[in-house]
Amino acid sequence: MTRYLQAAAVRDARLRLFCFPYAGGGASTYAGWQRRLGDRVQVLPVQLPGREGRSGEPRFTDLDALVRDLDRALADELDVPHILLGHSMGALIAYALARHRARLGERLPEALVLSAYRAPHLPAPELAPPDADDDALVHSLVGLGGIPKILLDHPEWLSALLPVARDDLLMCSGPGPSGKEPLPVPIQAYAGSGDQLVSPAQVAEWVDYSQCGFSMRTLPGGHFFLREQEDVFLSDLAHSLDTVVGLYH
């Protein structure tokens, strides 16, 4: 077990699914996925520092630094058949980690599952101005569905969430992977039909980042369709995973 994983990776699991969270989110984003996806994969939510069970640790605001640390910490766990999945910021992290490992000649994922994030060569969407006050940031997050409205009545929760969101958004707006560098890894992309932050057309441009297959599904809902349409999303994901798992029978 590493500090990034809440559960130990099972050595005899045929396939591991590493799940990276959206900005402001944590490993709890993927709570319940193991039960829903069954034993076709081992679901491994990745807990980034500075949130939930790691709230006392400093957060990363530099993507390259985070990716290098992830590669060091998860090296053994990634040296078996696996898939990297991420929603929004998590998609950026998943792709950047796969590209980093490709450059080092390390084992690559069997597939990348990238959800609600624009292709890296496109301009970063601006959720809120960098100098936005807390009220403006909260309004933007609530509008996208990233913060349940009930939290507006709990300022103590918001005061813990907003610094995490700000640092994550800083990382997303900073220098990311440059240049179109397609990987020898299939990409499964997902988009929300009503996403006001990242359009399906922007998600579709991930097609240029795979050398061996790209598919995309657009689901009803906004930026957080992953929650709004969880049953549909997980059903589609399970079908995709069965195709990959079949290679390891």
| Known catalytic residue at 199 | no
Contact present, 151 and 157 (Cβ < 8 Å): yes
Contact present, 95 and 67 (Cβ < 8 Å): no
Q: Which of 88, 115, 140, 210 is catalytic?
A: 88
What is the sign of the dihedral through the CA atoms of 106, 112, 117 and 119?
A: positive
Q: What angle do CA 74, 9, 60 make, to 5 degrees?
A: 35
Which residues lie below 8 Å from residue 22, measured CB to CB, with a gap of 6+?
Answer: 29, 87, 88, 89, 90, 116, 146, 224
Pairwise CA distance, residues 67 & 94, whole Å: 9
Scanning the structure block, which residue is given the tokens 């100098």?
131
Residues acting as catalytic residues: 88
